[in-house]
């Protein structure tokens, strides 16, 4: 279902140069690069980056580069490109899960009962244990985009002409659930980060409220088989609020890091409020808005390829 056309009927006249899945793949590639950069800046606060910490730092840009190359390869050889992209995303899931494990181990005390070794206070002041989960969520977005849904809204995904899987939900609803999950991860991460300040600033509640609202709305829209115009208005408003909250967060973090005279000191940006962290909200909102686009391929060439694949499979 073309939800953006339900929201704004005149967009049916438009033909985008890229399909929704292609835009998702570009966003996933860019996200991999920015995740690597963000982790590098975060680990600089320890003054010395440990050998294992270089894994996500190197993997992020490398994965982004491979995904962009796979996108170029897809212009001539779509199936090999899809296999390369799927392999990169599966590797991203492994990196993300290992990151969560290492962050939890580092936050926990070395001995004692688990309830004593890992408390809420330790999680607040330890490494962000949910941060690496973005490698997993971005990978799930990417895998969903790589596997083409044919026919649209069927939940039947194809990799090439023969390999297929059947989802219990249409791909659009899967995107909604992933956006909601990412919004919840961003919210919980923000809560743990802001807990270090003692919630002295009332503005810190804004990302908490906006993130929870966005996560609930995404879940509701995913459950509805046919969202109405009003439902989509609320959803689009929630995603726009995520983008605005993220941009405002960057502004607030920037002003928190500069000196009282407006001087930029690099050390304050490394050890102070993480300047890139609020962009996670904007990123989630952007993914959510893209999920509203036409689930069909965006070009006549791709639509013809999809039709040929379906005909071959039936035959």
Secondary structure of 163-186 in HEC code, one letter for each residue: EEEECCCCHHHHHHHHHHHHHHHH
**The pLDDT value given to residue 160:** 67
For residue 55, how many other CB atoms are within 10 A of its CB? Answer: 16
- Encoding tokens for residue 24? 């998702």
**The pLDDT value given to residue 301:** 47
8 A C-beta contact, residue 36 and residue 59: yes
- Report residue 87: phi and psi, to 5°: -65, -40
Overall domain count for the chain: 1
Q: What is the dihedral of CA 239, 240, 246, 249, to 10 degrees?
A: -130
CA angle 92, 24, 166 (to 5 degrees): 75
User: Which is nearest to 205 in space by CA: 236, 176, 248?
Assistant: 248
Residues sharing a CB contact under 8 Å with residue 150, sequence separation 6 or more, in sequence order: 156, 158, 306, 309, 310
Q: What is the C-alpha to C-alpha distance for residues 158 and 136, in angstroms, rounded to an integer?
A: 21
Measured in whole angstroms, the distance separating CA 305 from the mean position of its chain's CA atoms is: 28
- What 3-state class would DSSP assign to 30? helix
User: Which is nearest to 24 in space by CA: 81, 67, 84?
Assistant: 67
Q: Mind listing the pLDDT tens digit of every residue in the chain (315 residues)?
A: 788 888 888 888 888 788 899 999 999 999 999 999 888 888 777 667 788 888 999 999 999 999 999 888 887 887 888 889 999 999 999 999 999 998 888 888 777 666 677 777 777 777 788 888 999 999 999 998 888 887 887 778 877 667 778 878 888 999 999 999 999 999 999 998 888 888 878 888 999 999 999 999 999 999 887 889 999 999 999 999 999 999 999 898 888 887 666 667 666 666 677 788 889 999 999 999 999 998 876 444 444 444 444 444 434
Bridge partners of residue 157, in order along the sequence: 149, 165
Angle 171-195/205-223 helices, nearest 10 degrees? 160
**The pLDDT value given to residue 115:** 66
Q: What is the C-alpha to C-alpha distance for residues 137 and 116, in angstroms, rounded to an integer?
A: 30
For residue 116, how many other CB atoms are within 10 A of its CB? Answer: 11
Widest distance between CA atoms in the chain? 72
Residue at token pair 């991460």: 189
Look up the domain containing 101 and give its range: 3-9+17-314
Kindly tell me the sign of the dihedral angle through the C-alpha atoms of 38, 41, 44, 50.
positive
**The pLDDT value given to residue 271:** 67
């Amino acid at each position: 279902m073309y939800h953006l056309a339900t929201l704004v009927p005149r967009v049916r006249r438009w033909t985008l140069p890229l399909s929704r899945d292609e835009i998702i793949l570009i966003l996933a590639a860019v996200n991999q690069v920015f995740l690597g950069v963000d982790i590098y800046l975060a680990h600089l606060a320890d003054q010395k980056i440990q050998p294992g910490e270089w894994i996500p730092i190197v993997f992020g840009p490398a994965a982004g580069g491979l995904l962009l190359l796979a996108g170029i390869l897809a212009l001539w050889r779509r199936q090999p490109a899809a296999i390369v992209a799927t392999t990169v995303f599966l590797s991203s899931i492994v990196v993300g899960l290992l990151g969560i494990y290492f962050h939890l181990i580092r936050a926990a005390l070395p001995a004692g009962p688990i309830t004593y070794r890992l408390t809420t206070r330790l999680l607040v002041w330890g490494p962000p244990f949910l941060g690496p989960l973005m490698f997993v969520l971005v990978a799930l977005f990417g895998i969903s985009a790589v596997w083409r849904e044919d026919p649209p809204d069927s939940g039947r995904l194809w990799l090439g002409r023969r390999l297929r899987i059947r989802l219990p939900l249409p791909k659009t609803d899967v995107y909604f659930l992933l956006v909601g999950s990412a919004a919840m991860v961003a919210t919980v991460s923000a809560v743990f980060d802001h807990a270090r300040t003692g919630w002295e600033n009332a503005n810190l509640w804004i990302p908490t409220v906006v993130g929870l609202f966005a996560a609930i709305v995404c879940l509701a829209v995913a459950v509805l088989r046919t969202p109405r115009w009003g439902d989509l208005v609320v959803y689009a408003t929630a995603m726009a609020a995520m983008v605005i909250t993220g941009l405002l967060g960057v502004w607030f973090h920037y002003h928190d890091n500069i000196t009282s005279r407006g001087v930029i000191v690099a050390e304050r940006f490394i050890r102070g409020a993480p300047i890139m962290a609020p962009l996670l909200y904007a990123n989630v909102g952007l993914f959510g808005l893209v999920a509203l686009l036409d689930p069909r391929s965006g070009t006549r060439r791709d639509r013809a390829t999809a039709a040929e694949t379906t005909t071959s499979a039936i035959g």
